[in-house]
Amino acid sequence: MATLRGFIEEVQSPVEGARYLVKVELKEGKDVEHVWLEPVKWINPGLAGILASEPAFIKGCKAGDLIKPLPDQISDWVIIAPDGSKRGGFTVDTIDKRRK
């Protein structure tokens, strides 16, 4: 599974002990920031998640806020299985490769 659709299908039937995160684009005026939401759940008809950290530039949101992103606002997703293995996290993988 390497698609947002596959991620959403898994969120709809979550595995106990797994972590589900999405990275979303927030905009405020000219400022744009990509932030992680965790935990993420399916709330028909879409995803909803808690803003995991304090945004650096977007002042209209704070850690702990409930965010309901539209699909075009999602820039990444990751599923961390109970055994610690992960699927997704494509932006994290790219950043890690650039650091090496």
What is the residue range of 52's domain?
4-99
Angstrom distances, CA of residue 40 to CA of 29, 95, 96, 98: 26, 23, 24, 28
The structural domain count of the chain equals 1
Q: What is the pLDDT of residues 55-83, one digit of tens each?
A: 999 999 999 999 999 999 999 999 999 99
Q: Which is more confidently placed, 26 or 2?
A: 26
Rg (CA), the chain: 14
Split at pLDDT 50, 70, 90, the class of 97 is: low
The confidence band for 98, taking pLDDT boundaries of 50, 70 and 90, is low
Sequence-distant (6+) residues with CB within 8 A of 25 are: 32, 33, 34, 73, 74, 75
At 18-48, the pLDDT tens digits run 999 999 999 999 999 999 999 999 998 999 9
What's the confidence (pLDDT) of residue 43?
Answer: 94
